[in-house]
Amino acid sequence: MPPLVFYLLTLAVFGAIYGTLALGLNIQWGYTGILDFMYIAFVAVGGYVTSLLMLQPSQPAFGETYVLGLNWPFIPALLVGGLASALLAFIVGILALNRLRSDYFAIVTVSIGLVLYTIAGNDTPIVNGWDGISGIPQPFQDALNLDANSYGFFFLGLCIVILILVYIFSERLYRSPFGRALRSVREDEMVAQGLGKNVFALRLKAFVIGAFIAGIGGALLVIYVDAFNPSAWTTGETFFLWAALLLGGSANNRGAMLGALIVPVLFAEATRFLPTSNLPPQYIDAFRYIAIGVLLILTVRFRPQGILAEKRFRVRKSKLLAPAVATAGGGGVRITDADLADDPGTLDDGSPHAGEEGNTL
Amino acid sequence: MSQTSPDAAARGATATAHSADTIILDVRNTSKSFGGLRAVDNCSFTVTRGSITGLIGPNGAGKSTAANLITGFIRADAGQIMFDGKDIAHLPPYRVALRGLTRTFQITRELERMTVTENMMAAPHDQLGESFWLGLLGLPAVRKQENEYLQRALQLLRDFDLYDLRDEYAGNLSGGQRRLLELARVVMAQPKLLLLDEPFAGINPVLASRLSDYIEQMCREKGITFLIIEHNLAMVERLCHTVIVMALGRTIAEGTMAELRQNAAVVDAYLGES
């Protein structure tokens, strides 16, 4: 495979996987306004559980120790991986989502992420500690028997199929009354409560659903890179995904996926032109995270809605009321056309069909 | 101040036949302290079904705390709050709302990055599609209900003169439009009792007059009982037949504005202070 093709293929696979991950984070943050700074831990749990289920039993004689090793096929391992992340989110959510305001909750998530990271690294028998796991079987390769190049394209296809499924799921969720209730929680918790919404239950559900998607994406990620240790899921990685979501556009699923395509490329390329020869290699990583930080600040400062802003729902023409029979009286503060002249509808993504997507689920 | 409007008087007259089920809200000996301050101190009052009742009192009288106690946003230290015959004092706010007691806030609160129509559509309580699975699957029953609510929302928006703003983000509305939307939204939730916390604060007299027309209309046409906390006594007099006066965390008097003006305790605590 020519190097350029290989490079683009790698980017595409990462784009699809990060796209999936960004969609999950979008349900938590974009829809519901939950500040989840342990998102990467959900990715890791899904990745670990899926891999550990698919791996052969561990062979301590070769210096590898991990739990499970059940040689499961891909699909059930993937689902259980997602469910494991969802279960973790459920536990964290039950403990903390009810009691803590969003910023305090965010601090709790950072700490839980760090605790899990430290345990995974230091308690070697669970996931082989800092050395990590590797040699995870390639999904469906038993049946397909493809050469390495073709398998690369097959795996890309697999990732894209899952991305599309998650995208369709997320869109349906967004348009449903359930999604609207989530957004009402995001906008104003007290109003939502006043309207009879069980805010805690809604936030818990969104948190768990997002974590499930994180687990699925994490499984694909770990299988693709085929070597996974705790250094791959530091808190910095969480902000990497946050940068993707915020740059692309919170609460817009296409925006989330777009950000997930752009940010990894920026991340990899941002340091390309540094004079690397006389810098210690760890500086490169540090510069990359600085670049992510700068990107986050610039996005929030200059385009807080992201590249693709949240879509505005419009009532479909077919659903409008029949023209009013001239209403009696009224007077007072009438809404005139002048009030509507300054239409901020330019925040839309410009798609000519945006206007047709009404409240019509 | 003018005489109580004949409309309000008529409403009061029909509500004078007191019996258990004419009382929709019965606050009994409720107390709430913040640190050493007894914001609401052994407070009791009732609201008659179908009435527009005012709750007035000087600043610091405990009106807003009472509102928060009634709607579950603050939990009472002691006492009962009977709504529709059941004690709601220990329910979280969303459960109170589900029972049919909804509120607005002193400072209008909107779902800003949702459109006016979406603000309305978020209000109904019994939405099938708000269950994760039903919403995701979008079954015909869900779509049918969604359609019905959309029609009701648009009708209400037309009633409140917000129809042309239906696709606008609520965050882009003017202060007055926000007041109207907030009222339309809580009406959309079809409450039995609506608690309005200073609905006339900071809005111009023309809009205030219109808002009060809406309140009377909603009371008459939709059978909603109103409990209105308000400083604007002219509006209170115009709208409310029964007015409850609070001072220092207690109810000190109840009656029509005309009666209250003759009440030495009230004049002392409140009306005389200006």
* Percent over 90 (pLDDT), chain B: 66
CB contact burial B211-232 (16+ within 10 A = b; e otherwise): bbebbbebbeeeebbbbbbbeb
Q: Are residues B102 and B195 in the same domain?
A: yes
Sequence letter at residue A242: W
Question: How far, in Å, CA of A69 to CA of A183, rounded?
Answer: 41
pLDDT exceeds cutoff 80 at A60: no
Give the pLDDT mean for B27-36.
Answer: 91
Q: Which residue of A has its CA nearest to B152?
A: A321
Phi, then psi, of B28 in degrees rounded to 5: -120, 115
pLDDT classification of A330: cutoffs 50, 70, 90: very low
pLDDT classification of A221: cutoffs 50, 70, 90: very high
Q: Which of B71, B88, B118, B174 to mutate to test the interface with A (most CBs of A within 10 A)?
A: B118
**Number of folded domains in chain B?**
2
pLDDT digits (tens, 9 = 90+) for A71-101: 889 999 999 999 999 999 999 999 998 877 7
3-state secondary structure of B103: strand
- Look at residue B3 in the predicted model and tell me its pLDDT: 46
Give chain A positions within 8 Å (CB) of B114: 180, 183-184, 187, 313
Looking at CA atoms only, how far is residue A206 from chain B in angstroms?
10
- Look at the block and give the residue holding tokens 């009013």: A324
Looking at CA atoms only, how far is residue B264 from chain A in angstroms?
37
Q: Which residue of A has its CA nearest to B186?
A: A195
pLDDT exceeds cutoff 60 at B18: no
Q: Are residues B103 and B41 in the same domain?
A: yes
Looking at CA atoms only, how far is residue B90 from chain A in angstroms?
15
Looking at CA atoms only, how far is residue A308 from chain B in angstroms?
15
Q: With CA atoms as reference, report the closest residue to B254 among B22, B47, B40.
A: B47
- Look at residue A206 in the predicted model and tell me its pLDDT: 97
- Look at residue A286 in the predicted model and tell me its pLDDT: 79
Q: Are residues B206 and B253 in the same domain?
A: yes
Contact B193, B100 (CB under 8 A): yes
Q: Are residues B84 and B143 in the same domain?
A: no
Please, which residues have CB within 8 angstroms of residue A179's CB and are 6 or more apart in sequence? A31, A173, B135
- Look at residue B116 in the predicted model and tell me its pLDDT: 96
Q: Are residues B235 and B259 in the same domain?
A: yes
Question: How far, in Å, CA of B116 to CA of B38, rounded?
Answer: 39
- Look at residue B88 in the predicted model and tell me its pLDDT: 93
Task: Name the residue among B117, B135, B209 with its Cβ closest to that of A176.
Answer: B135
Lowest-confidence range among A80-84, A355-359, B79-83?
A355-359
A177–B127 CB contact, under 8 Å = yes
Lowest-confidence range among A18-27, A272-281, B60-69, B257-266?
A272-281
- Look at residue B66 in the predicted model and tell me its pLDDT: 94
Query: Which of A 185-214 lie inside 8 A of B, CB atoms?
Result: 187-188, 190-199, 205, 209
A313–B111 CB contact, under 8 Å = no
Query: Which of B 182-241 lie inside 8 A of A, CB atoms?
Result: 185-186, 189, 204, 206-207, 209-210
Give chain A positions within 8 Å (CB) of B128: 177
- Look at the block and give the residue holding tokens 């305090």: A104
Q: Give the CATH number, domain containing residue B34.
A: 3.40.50.300
- Look at residue A346 in the predicted model and tell me its pLDDT: 38
B142–A177 CB contact, under 8 Å = yes
Task: Name the residue among A183, A333, A335 with its Cβ closest to that of B210.
Answer: A333
Average pLDDT over chain A reads 84
Please, which residues have CB within 8 angstroms of residue A331's CB and are 6 or more apart in sequence? B206, B210
Give chain B positions within 8 Å (CB) of A315: 117, 150, 154, 166-167
Does residue B179 sit within a domain?
Answer: no
Distances from the Cα of B143 to the Cα of A51, B146, B147, B181, angstroms: 41, 5, 6, 24
Does residue B28 sit within a domain?
Answer: yes
Q: Are residues B27 and B40 in the same domain?
A: yes
3-state secondary structure of B2: coil
- Look at residue A348 in the predicted model and tell me its pLDDT: 40
Interface membership of A99 toward B (CB under 8 Å): no
- Look at residue A357 in the predicted model and tell me its pLDDT: 41
Looking at CA atoms only, how far is residue B119 from chain A in angstroms?
8
Looking at CA atoms only, how far is residue A172 from chain B in angstroms?
6
pLDDT classification of A319: cutoffs 50, 70, 90: confident
Give chain B positions within 8 Å (CB) of A209: 132
A344–B102 CB contact, under 8 Å = no
pLDDT digits (tens, 9 = 90+) for B137-178: 988 999 999 999 999 999 999 989 999 999 999 999 998 899
CB contact burial B69-94 (16+ within 10 A = b; e otherwise): bbbbbbebeebbbbbbeeebbebebb
- Look at residue A121 in the predicted model and tell me its pLDDT: 85
Please, which residues have CB within 8 angstroms of residue A116's CB and are 6 or more apart in sequence? A38, A41, A44, A45
Domain closes at, from B144, B172, B200: B172
Query: Which of A 10-69 lie inside 8 A of B, CB atoms?
Result: none
| Whole-number CA gyration radius for chain A | 23
pLDDT classification of A289: cutoffs 50, 70, 90: confident
Lowest-confidence range among A28-42, B1-15, B204-218?
B1-15
Q: Are residues B95 and B127 in the same domain?
A: no
Contact A134, A226 (CB under 8 A): yes
Looking at CA atoms only, how far is residue A198 from chain B in angstroms?
6
Task: Name the residue among B113, B131, B210 with its Cβ closest to that of A187.
Answer: B113
Question: How far, in Å, CA of B207 to CA of B220, rounded?
Answer: 20
What are the E-state strand segments in chain B? 23-34, 37-48, 52-56, 78-83, 86-87, 101-103, 193-197, 225-229, 242-247, 250-255
Question: How far, in Å, CA of A198 to CA of A311, rounded?
Answer: 25
* Percent over 70 (pLDDT), chain A: 87
Please, which residues have CB within 8 angstroms of residue B61's CB and are 6 or more apart in sequence? B246, B247, B248, B249, B269, B270
Lowest-confidence range among A135-139, A316-320, A329-333, B142-146?
A329-333
pLDDT digits (tens, 9 = 90+) for A177-207: 999 999 999 999 999 999 999 999 999 999 9
- Look at residue A277 in the predicted model and tell me its pLDDT: 67
Question: How far, in Å, CA of A106 to CA of A128, rounded?
Answer: 29
Query: Which of B 23-52 lie inside 8 A of A, CB atoms?
Result: none
Full domain range(s) for residue B58? 6-110+191-273
A193–B92 CB contact, under 8 Å = yes
**pTM, rounded to two decimals:** 0.87
pLDDT exceeds cutoff 80 at A355: no
Contact A37, A96 (CB under 8 A): no
Looking at CA atoms only, how far is residue B179 from chain A in angstroms?
12
Q: With CA atoms as reference, report the closest residue to B30 among B65, B93, B76, B62.
A: B76
Interface membership of B155 toward A (CB under 8 Å): yes
B146–A187 CB contact, under 8 Å = no
- Highest average pLDDT, of A273-277, B52-56, B254-258, comes from B52-56
Sheet holding B242-247, edge to edge: B101-103, B193-197, B225-229, B52-56, B242-247, B250-255
Q: Give the count of beta carbons closer than 10 Å to the beta carbon of residue A257.
A: 27
Q: How many helices (H) and strands (E) does chain B have?
A: 11, 10
Does residue B20 sit within a domain?
Answer: yes
pLDDT classification of A342: cutoffs 50, 70, 90: very low
Does residue B207 sit within a domain?
Answer: yes
* Percent over 70 (pLDDT), chain B: 91
The encoded tokens of residue A222 equal 């770990």
Residue ranges per structural domain of chain A? 7-233
The encoded tokens of residue A316 equal 């479909």
Interface membership of A269 toward B (CB under 8 Å): no
pLDDT digits (tens, 9 = 90+) for A12-26: 899 999 999 999 999
B94–A196 CB contact, under 8 Å = yes
B165–A332 CB contact, under 8 Å = no
- Look at residue A344 in the predicted model and tell me its pLDDT: 42
Distances from the Cα of B200 to the Cα of A329, B137, B208, B211, B231, angstroms: 21, 43, 6, 8, 8
B169–A344 CB contact, under 8 Å = yes
Interface membership of A315 toward B (CB under 8 Å): yes
Which H or E run includes A108?
helix A102-122
Q: Are residues B166 and B198 in the same domain?
A: no
Give the pLDDT mean for A311-316.
Answer: 89
Contacts A–B by Cβ distance under 8 A: 171
Lowest-confidence range among A17-21, A209-213, A218-222, A239-243?
A239-243
Interface membership of B272 toward A (CB under 8 Å): no
Q: What is the interface pTM, i.e. ipTM, of the complex?
A: 0.86
A198–B94 CB contact, under 8 Å = yes
Does residue B265 sit within a domain?
Answer: yes
Average pLDDT over chain B reads 88
